[in-house]
C-alpha cells in the first residue's frame, strides 16, 4: 500500500503549532489527549512553540504536552519540526486556538490506522459555527483557492484545501518531502500528496470560533497559497497560455508579412503585425520557462513528469537544432534579401518593413528554440562526478 503506516511505533502523535496561545493551549492539549484515549492507543501531544512571548509553553507543558521550541518562524516551519520529532505511526495536526475539536481526532486517524487511506483532510465547509470563519474566507477565498487547486492538479478529492486538521501516516509524510515554512505549507502537503499518488480522503469536521487573535493575513497568505500552486503547475500557468498566445501571434503575423490583410473592408497592416510579433516573443518565453520549470521538477525528483520524460527520450540537442536551424536560416535569408534590395536601390526609400519584421521573428524563434534545447541538455547532465577524468587536476 502507498505510504502504509508501518513506520514507527503504533500510536498517535498530535502536532500543534503554537504562537501566543496561552488562553487556549491548555484546553487544546486536554482535548488532544482525550482524542487519543478514544482510540485506545498510546500517543503524545507535541506543542511546537514558534516564538511565543506569553506563557503558552509553560501551560502546555503542565497539561502533559511535550513542548518543542522552533526558532524559525512560520506555520510550515513549526509543523515540519513537530513531524520530525514525532514518534508514532499516525501524525495528526491541529491548531492551538480551539478552532478544531481534537477530541474527535479519531475520525481522521481511524482510516489511516485501518490502512484505508494515507492522508485524511478535514472539511470544515459544511459545519462552520457562527463567527468561526470570516465571510470573505467562507464564500470567496477558501472555495476559490480550493477550486483552483482541483483544476490545476486534476483532483476531486479535496474540497477544503486549507483545513488545518489532518491525519497522515508517518511514512506517507516522509514521501512528501515538504520544504515551505509559511501558510502555503497546507497547499504543499496536498499538492505533494497528489504528486506522490497518496490515497486521500476527506472527513467532515466542525469549525469553531478561535480563541485569541488570528495570525492569518487574508490577502498575503491567500496570495502565498495561490503563488505556490501556480509555481507548481507550469502547464496551466505558463505552457498552455504561452502556446495559445504563440499560435495567435504566428497566425496573425505570418499573413501580414506578404501584404495588408483585408477583412470585411478593414485593413490589418504593419501595426497589427508588430503587436502579433511582440505577442509571439512573449509567448515563446512563457513556453520556454514552463518547459524548463517542468524539466527542473522532473530531474530534481520533485515530481515525475511523463511529458518531460518522453521529451528527453525523443528530443536530443541535435534534433532540436534541426528545428531551430531552418528558422534561423529563413530569417537570415529574408533579412539578406531585404538588405540586398536596399543596397540595389542605392540606399534609398525601402518599403520592406513587413518582410524584415517577419525575418526578425524567424531569427528570434529559431534562436530561442536553440537556446532552450541547449539548456535542456545541460540540465540533464549528471549532477555529481564521483571520480575526476584522468586529464583533470593539478595542472601548472
What pLDDT was estimated at residue 391? 46
Query: Is the pLDDT at 396 greater than 60, yes or no?
Result: no
Give pLDDT tens digits for 210-222: 997 777 777 887 8
**H helices of the chain, where?**
25-38, 56-62, 75-85, 106-113, 135-136, 142-152, 170-176, 185-196, 218-231, 234, 240-256, 270-299, 306-314, 317-344, 353-379
Query: Is the pLDDT at 3 greater than 50, yes or no?
Result: no
What pLDDT was estimated at residue 296? 84
Lowest mean per-residue pLDDT among 173-187, 324-338, 348-362 = 348-362
Domain boundaries, the chain: 9-231, 234-379
Distance CA 211, CA 11 (A): 29
| DSSP assignment string, 188-231 | HHHHHHHHHT--EEEEE--B-PPSS-----HHHHHHHHHHHHHH
Query: Is the pLDDT at 1 greater than 70, yes or no?
Result: no
Query: Is the pLDDT at 261 greater than 90, yes or no?
Result: no
Give pLDDT tens digits for 55-102: 999 999 999 999 999 999 999 999 999 999 999 999 999 999 999 999
What pLDDT was estimated at residue 341? 85
C-alpha cell recorded at residue 72 = 524559525
Average pLDDT over residues 245-274: 88
CA 235 vs CA 131, 194, 306: distances in Å: 38, 16, 13
Strands 200-204 and 88-93: unpaired
Query: Is the pLDDT at 393 greater than 70, yes or no?
Result: no
Residues 305-327, buried b or exposed e (16+ Cβ, 10 A)? beebeebbeeeeeeebbeebeeb
Query: Is the pLDDT at 195 greater than 80, yes or no?
Result: yes
Average pLDDT over residues 35-63: 96
The domain made up of 9-231 has a fold known as Spore Coat Polysaccharide Biosynthesis Protein SpsA; Chain A (3.90.550)
Arithmetic mean of pLDDT over the chain: 89
Q: Please name which of 190, 137, 182 lies closest in space to residue 166, comparing C-alpha atoms.
A: 190
What pLDDT was estimated at residue 270? 86
Lowest mean per-residue pLDDT among 59-63, 263-267, 284-288, 348-352 = 348-352
Q: Tell if the pTM clears 0.95, that is, is over it.
A: no
Distance CA 144, CA 369 (A): 36
Average pLDDT over residues 234-241: 89
- Residue 158 is classified by DSSP as -
CA 247 vs CA 254, 279, 284, 291, 331: distances in Å: 11, 10, 10, 17, 18
Residues 6+ apart with CB under 8 A from 136: 218
Query: How confident is residue 18, by pLDDT bands cut at 50, 70 and 90?
Result: very high
Residues 6+ apart with CB under 8 A from 38: 103, 104, 106
Burial class (CB in 10 A: 0-12, 13-18, 19+), 100: buried
For residue 392, the tally of other CB atoms under 10 A from its CB is: 9
Give pLDDT tens digits for 359-388: 999 999 999 999 999 998 888 876 554 444
Give pLDDT tens digits for 299-322: 877 777 888 888 888 888 899 999
Amino acid at each position: 500500500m502507498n505510504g502504509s503506516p508501518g513506520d514507527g511505533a503504533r500510536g498517535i502523535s498530535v502536532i500543534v503549532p503554537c504562537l501566543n496561545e496561552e488562553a487556549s493551549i491548555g484546553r487544546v492539549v486536554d482535548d488532544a489527549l482525550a482524542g487519543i484515549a478514544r482510540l485506545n492507543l498510546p500517543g503524545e501531544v507535541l506543542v511546537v512553540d514558534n516564538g511565543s512571548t506569553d506563557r503558552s509553553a509553560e501551560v502546555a507543558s503542565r497539561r502533559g504536552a511535550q513542548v518543542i521550541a522552533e526558532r524559525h518562524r512560520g506555520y510550515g516551519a513549526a509543523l515540519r519540526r513537530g513531524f520530525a520529532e514525532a514518534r508514532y505511526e499516525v501524525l495528526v495536526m491541529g491548531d492551538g486556538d480551539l478552532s478544531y475539536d481534537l477530541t474527535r481526532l479519531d475520525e481522521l486517524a481511524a482510516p489511516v490506522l485501518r490502512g484505508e487511506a494515507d492522508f485524511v483532510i478535514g472539511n470544515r465547509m459544511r459545519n462552520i459555527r457562527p463567527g468561526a470563519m470570516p465571510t470573505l474566507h467562507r464564500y470567496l477565498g477558501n472555495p476559490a483557492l480550493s477550486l483552483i487547486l482541483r483544476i490545476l492538479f486534476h483532483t476531486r478529492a479535496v474540497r477544503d484545501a486549507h483545513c488545518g486538521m489532518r491525519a497522515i501516516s508517518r511514512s506517507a509524510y516522509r514521501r512528501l518531502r515538504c520544504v515551505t515554512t509559511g501558510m502555503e505549507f497546507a497547499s504543499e502537503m496536498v499538492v505533494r500528496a497528489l504528486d506522490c499518488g497518496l490515497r486521500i480522503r476527506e472527513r467532515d469536521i466542525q469549525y469553531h470560533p478561535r480563541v485569541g487573535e488570528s495570525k492569518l493575513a487574508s490577502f498575503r497568505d491567500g496570495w502565498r497559497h495561490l503563488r505556490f500552486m501556480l509555481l507548481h503547475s507550469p502547464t496551466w500557468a505558463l505552457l498552455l497560455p504561452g502556446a495559445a498566445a504563440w499560435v495567435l501571434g504566428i497566425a496573425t503575423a505570418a499573413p501580414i508579412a506578404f501584404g495588408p490583410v483585408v477583412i470585411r473592408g478593414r485593413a490589418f497592416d504593419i501595426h497589427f503585425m508588430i503587436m502579433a510579433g511582440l505577442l509571439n516573443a512573449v509567448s515563446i518565453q512563457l513556453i520556454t520557462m514552463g518547459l524548463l520549470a517542468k524539466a527542473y521538477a522532473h530531474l530534481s525528483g520533485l515530481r515525475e513528469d511523463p511529458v518531460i520524460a518522453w521529451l528527453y527520450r525523443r528530443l536530443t540537442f541535435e534534433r532540436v537544432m534541426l528545428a531551430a536551424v531552418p528558422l534561423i536560416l529563413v530569417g537570415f535569408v529574408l533579412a539578406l534579401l531585404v538588405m540586398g534590395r536596399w543596397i540595389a536601390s542605392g540606399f534609398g526609400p525601402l518599403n520592406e518593413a513587413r518582410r524584415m519584421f517577419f525575418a526578425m521573428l524567424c531569427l528570434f524563434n529559431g534562436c530561442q528554440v536553440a537556446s532552450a534545447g541547449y539548456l535542456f541538455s545541460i540540465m540533464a547532465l549528471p549532477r555529481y562526478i564521483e571520480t575526476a577524468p584522468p586529464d583533470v587536476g593539478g595542472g601548472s
